Every structure is written in structure tokens, then in C-alpha cells.
A and B are shown apart, each in its own frame.
Chain A
Amino acid sequence: AQTVTQSQPEMSVQEAETVTLSCTYDTSESDYYLFWYKQPPSRQMILVIRQEAYKQQNATENRFSVNFQKAAKSFSLKISDSQLGDAAMYFCAYRSADTGAQKLVFGQGTRLTINP
């Protein structure tokens, strides 16, 4: 079974600075997808960024980028120019590329605080 580990329960960063959230995963599969989801307080979970394992190029979405290291099974999220609205729980998630298996396997989450 696949597992996802986020070793940083909490992180904080000064507004406008850069922060990196860590995620490692364990799988025996060669093809899969990785995601970062954001869950603001009392608000619904939204997708931040997605990475296909077969793509060597790291995904980027505006101020959000990932460092995907397939051999090390590492998938970190970098947030540049942090804004107050970035404060939330961030979850790393794994999904198999198997056509029948669409469930997301989530890590424990990292609570990100932005200091003004």
C-alpha cells in the first residue's frame, strides 16, 4: 500500500518570503500522480498543484512550484512571495495511475502560518 509522510506538522514564514513544505511517499508503482492540496480554516480543500510521475519537469503554478525527486520519492512544495491568504493546512497526496484506483492517499498535513 502507498503511504505519504509530511514530517513538518507546522511551518511559519514571514510575508513575502519563501517557504518549502516537505513530503515523502512510498510506492512500488512506476506511474502515479502527486498533488498538493490547500485547506484554509473552515473552508474547503482546493488543488494547488499537480505532478505526473512520468514528467521530469517540475510543475509550477504562479507562486507555487514543486521539487519532484522520483528516485528519492520526495515531492516538496515551494511557495514564493508568501501572502497572508496562503495560511492554511497543506496536504500532500498520491494517486495511482492504475485505471481502477482513483483514491487520493493523503499525508498528515502541514499547518502553514504567515507572519505579517
Chain B
Amino acid sequence: EAGVAQSPRYKIIEKRQSVAFWCNPISGHATLYWYQQILGQGPKLLIQFQNNGVVDDSQLPKDRFSAERLKGVDSTLKIQPAKLEDSAVYLCASSFGRGTQYFGPGTRLLVL
């Protein structure tokens, strides 16, 4: 069974630029999560989707971050404009209902 796929694996941008990350969850997993992991910290949930609907986006900085899951499968997380403090690893995870969350390899973002 294929795991959670993410791309790109690494991205370097200048501050105030925009960037997008892509995630494809495990087949059949209706629930998809985006976490932000700043160096030296544990991951923090940014947004959770159930199919193509948002369940929790309370910690998403909505002035600069946006996410979508239009067809209830893959998802895109966008940052516009990026700030230095957005440098982090962005993890995508998926689960079948309320089961175990399986994580992708992450996208490492560096904002200069």
C-alpha cells in the first residue's frame, strides 16, 4: 500500500514570495491533516479536512495561509506572502476516520 506522498521535499524561497505544497493521502483515507513542525518543536496542526470539508482550521494563519482539498483526495497548502518564521517542515497526514494518522515525509521550507 502506498503511503502519504508529498512534494516538493525541499523548497527555498525569499520572504514575501509565495509557495505551495502538495499532498496525496493514502487511498481511501477521508481525513487529511496539515501540520507545521518548527525546528526543535513538535508538530502543530494547521488544518484538518474531512473529505473536502474543513473540520478544524483554528490554528491556520488565514491572512497568509490557505489550503484546499477540492475533490476530497489530494490537497494543496499555500503560503502567500511567506515570512521568515514560516521556515519549518510541513507534514501531511491522513487517516481512515478516527484511526491512526499516517504521516508523509514532509516538505522542508526555508524562507530567506
B101 touches A104 (CB 8 A): yes
Question: How far is it, in angstroms, between the C-alpha of A116 and the C-alpha of B13 when the chains are bound?
Answer: 40
Which DSSP category, helix, strand, loop or mixed, fits chain A's interface? loop
From A44, A99, A100, contact of B103 by CB (8 A) = A44
Structural contact, A45 and B103, CB atoms closer than 8 A: yes
* B42 engages A44 (CB within 8 Å): no
Contact of A91 among B42, B45, B100, B105 (CB under 8 A): B42
Interface size on B, residues (CB 8 A): 24
A104 touching B45 by the CB < 8 A rule?
Answer: yes
Q: Which residues of A contact B40 (CB under 8 A)?
A: 108-109
For the complex, what is the distance from the CA of A7 to the CA of B27, rounded to whole Å? 37
- CB neighbors of A among B67-102 (8 A): 91, 95, 98, 100-102
Tell whether A101 pairs with B42 under 8 Å between CB atoms, given A44-B104, A50-B100: no
Interface status of A106 (Cβ within 8 A of chain B): yes
A11 at interface by CB-CB < 8 Å: no
Write out the residue numbers on chain B whose beta carbons fall within 8 Å of the beta carbon of A88: none
Alpha-carbon separation in the docked complex, A4 to B100 (Å):
19
Check B55 for interface membership: any CB of A closer than 8 A. Answer: yes
Residues of B with Cβ closer than 8 Å to A? 3-4, 31, 33, 35, 40-45, 48, 55-56, 91, 95, 98, 100-106
